[in-house]
Amino acid sequence: MIGRDEELRSLRRLLTDAAAGQGGALLVHGTAGVGKSALLRTVGTEAADSGFRVLRTSGVETEQWLPFAALQLLLQPVADGIENLPDPQRETLTDAFSATETEPQTFRAGLAVLELLADAADQQPLLLLLDDLQWFDSSSRDVLRFVSRRTGDLPILFIAAVRIPSIDEFSPGMHPDLHLEPLSRTAAAELLDAGAPGLAAPLRALVLERAAGNPLALIELPKAVQGMSAQWDDLPLTQRLEATFAARTDSASLECRTFLLALAAEPTAPLSRLLEVSSRLCGSTVSVDSLQEAVDAGLVTLVGRTAEFRHPLMRSAIYTRATVADRLATHRALAAALADTPGLQLAHEAAATLGPDEELAVRLEQFADASQARGKVAAAVPALRQAAELVQDARRRTGILVRAAELSAEINDRFNAQMLLDRADLSVLGPVEQARLMVVSDRAAFEPDEPHRRIHDMVTAAGGAMDAGAAGIAENLLWRAAARCFFQDGDAQVRAQTAAELDRWNPDPNAPHVLVVRAYTEPYRHGADVIARLRSIEPNRQDGRILHFLGSGAMVVGEMSHAARYLSLAAASWRSQGRLGLLARSLAGSWSRVYLGQLDRAREESGEGIALAEETGEQIVWLGVKATAGLVAVLRGETEAAARMVRELRTHSLFPGMPFVTVVAQQIDGLLALFDSRATEAYDILARAFDPADPHYHSVSRWLLAPDLADAAVAAGTVEQARGLLTELPELADRLPSEMMVVARAYTDAVLAPDDTAEERYAAALTALPADWTPARARLHLHHGRRLRRQRRNVDARHPLRLARDEFERAGAKPWAEMALEQLRAAGESSGRRHPYESEQLSAQEMQIAVLASQGLSNREIGQRLFISHRTVGAHLYRIYPRLGITSRGKLATALAALHEEPAE
């Protein structure tokens, strides 16, 4: 390798880490010919020499019709280990690699592959090389994304290469990434001179100029530079390279050229079948001699018994150099030879077709129907995409594209979904198709611009679909519009429009989707009724969708105890099904737990939610759980982490248009200032969240900040100003009697009360507070104790201060706990920290593992629950034991229980 010293040093460091059990993943990206494949080959050779087992595969376009095709090729060397997996995982991989069985869910296949690779890596460290990732089938790519994120405690390293301008949609969750730049002028000259030492000076200068540091060009252009014409000089580099490669076939035999075209059209076909197809096309026997001719010409190499082009550009060059007639004939011959693989057969039939072909389009749709029925959604998408190309009717074509986009969104392929939508002709859509289109576009990409116009359009489309009899689509779209009313804090007009459209349908008032739409849109109008129904419903605990609706509706109106319960049940349902994107959404319920004093649980769930949201591309969910994680961090006294999370939130592209999270970011900043004794700054920050003209204002969620505002006002001496900001609160709390509003009203009424009525208002507030809102109760005790101290009633102050101290320490709310301890000492009571903060010793995931292990779950059971390898569970437990001062699994329960024991007085 010339000119890649720094890149090789980086890769060698990753190999060293992986060999030591600290695996990872890296995505290499750059233009065609820049040396990605060569870099992968070099690191693969070095890894093999240093004791790694190397697995490798490359993507090709036609594999996109075959779910798990790339994965199956990659895993062939370790496939014997499938038989040693537990029955469910063995069956999962058997189904995944079967042409007829139902396709397993991504997470099940991913977990099975993770365990297969972890077992193999237990014998020998693994390096997985994935070239041309942009052409992997989506099922393989999703599984590899799943696995690559879970190798941190395993001797497994992923290195992938992709040739596209934007890597985001094709990255299998690999961080960091390596952008491969063209070679420097010095390195380019060295590479050129090594490959073409006798090149005349003028030609040498011309090649250096035209190659522009592209290694493949520096190697290949000298072979054809003598015949370069002025017109050829003007071609883009990729086309010049393709022309150079294609020119090499000019002197090849007819049989060799025919074989090369068949290989270019179907690189995944067995060699024997390619020779058979070539013979049929030539009308005479094409033997391995033709293959050898291609190898001798430097166009093809043999990997085992498989023929591969030396570079993907060679394949595209040979294909485009062939005449249209030869290409069509080759695809027809391949279609006839691949009758045992219906997907590939149809792909080649479509490629052999010029112009519309209604009969073939119908067959492609039927193939998509059958694939979808077996759960092989990834195979249905390319079939529908091809079918759309073959029909003349614009409306039917757009309907097929919308369906393909729906399926792409279903398998979380947002990039492909958006590409398909961009090809749809919106002018020909009927009302149902328009609603379907809006649903899938909402899933594919959340547009933060012009939120009110978007909500209006969604509601209008939902009404049209309902009138056309498509109730399911209409309800889905209206729910999405209502969700935007909360996330983007829609104005009164779009909120009323959304609610009115729902009313027009005369819905069942107890239906969960009806409750959540009303909670999202007009909580102050429907709040009392929604809350009463939420409190009385007993849903099916296995129905994750219904549970999520109920939990989401409860959360947005501030009914946090019910939100936590419903969303916890929903998360358990999604977890058991492996629905990772939906699980991430339900883990947003961690926000509710913050106000219930469950900081450790909120930390665990928000941490897992962040990882899953990143993995599944759920950007809005990521904003929510990231905000929760920041709020937990500030309440635990982790100021640097909280400040970092707020910065990450504020730099996200969607943040400015999402008041549901901007208000939380403002709350975190306000608490950071308050805990740092910057009371005036804290008040100013928090007060902005109550200004309708400020971007941090949210018409409902602002009331969660009311206790913080009151605290800051007392500390800053701005009590009168705070009362002015809260003038709406009593009336709105009457209209929306949720836990959030009860707490906001009771807390501020007591804390901001004048001295002559303070005692009775504290008593009334403590009576009014919901039982589960323990932090608010502890904060009231803290304020009560402070007030009593200011009145020199130190003995009386000690009791509420003790209650505050104990609750804050139990919850792990260190800043408030330290305030209570300071006040107790000032009141004349010597008091140190009484409760250990359990999560100081363990990370969020380690705490999850420790708790599950203490409950008797095996490492495999824990791994399946948390979607990690059982070997990763074992590695975590190995680190957990010394931190808890124990030596074995059997002592976990006792050690964890000790963290919660009440100390003796």
Strand partners, 126: 53, 156
Read off the pLDDT of each residue in 286-293 and give the average, rounded to a whole number.
91
Strand partners, 29: 162, 179
Least confident of 21-30, 444-453, 705-714, 849-858: 444-453
Q: Give the per-residue pLDDT at 904.
A: 41
Instruction: Tell me what pLDDT residue 228 has.
Output: 52
Which band of pLDDT confidence, cut at 50, 70 and 90, is reported for residue 445? low
For residues 657, 661, 666, 672, the Cα torsion angle rounded to the nearest 10 degrees is: -140
Mind listing the pLDDT tens digit for each residue in 149-199? 899 999 999 999 987 655 455 454 445 688 889 999 999 999 998 988 888
303-317, 846-860, 866-880 — which is least confidently predicted? 303-317
Which pTM does this prediction carry?
0.84
Q: What would the mean pLDDT of 232-238 be, rounded to a whole number?
A: 55
Q: Note whether 712 and 670 are within 8 A (CB).
A: yes
CB atoms within 10 A of CB 538: 5
For residue 144, what pLDDT band results from cuts at 50, 70 and 90? very high
Least confident of 91-105, 733-747, 785-799: 91-105
Range in 240-254, 508-522, 550-564, 729-743 with the lowest mean pLDDT: 240-254
Q: Tell me what pLDDT residue 169 has.
A: 53
Q: What is the mean pLDDT of residues 309-322?
A: 82
Q: Compute how many other C-beta atoms are within 10 angstroms of the C-beta atom of residue 255.
A: 21
Q: What are the tokens at 228?
A: 């370069």
What pLDDT does residue 302 have?
84
- 3-state DSSP call for residue 48? helix
**Is the pLDDT score of 615 beyond 60?**
yes
Q: Where are the alpha helices (DSSP H) in 266-393?
A: 271-282, 288-296, 312-321, 324-337, 342-351, 358-373, 377-389
User: 105: which DSSP letter?
Assistant: P
On the question of pLDDT at 57 being above 60, the answer is yes
Q: Which two tokens stand for residue 16?
A: 């060293």
pLDDT in tens, 811-853: 999 999 999 999 999 998 876 555 555 445 788 888 889 999 9
Does the pLDDT at position 897 exceed 90? no
- Please list, in sequence order, all residues whose beta carbon lies within 8 angstroms of the beta carbon of residue 198, skipping any fewer than 6 positions away: none
d(CA 674, CA 682): 5
Position 260 scores a pLDDT of 93
Helix, strand or coil, per DSSP, at residue 161 = strand
Query: Percentage of the chain surpassing pLDDT 90?
Result: 60
pLDDT, average across residues 669-683: 97
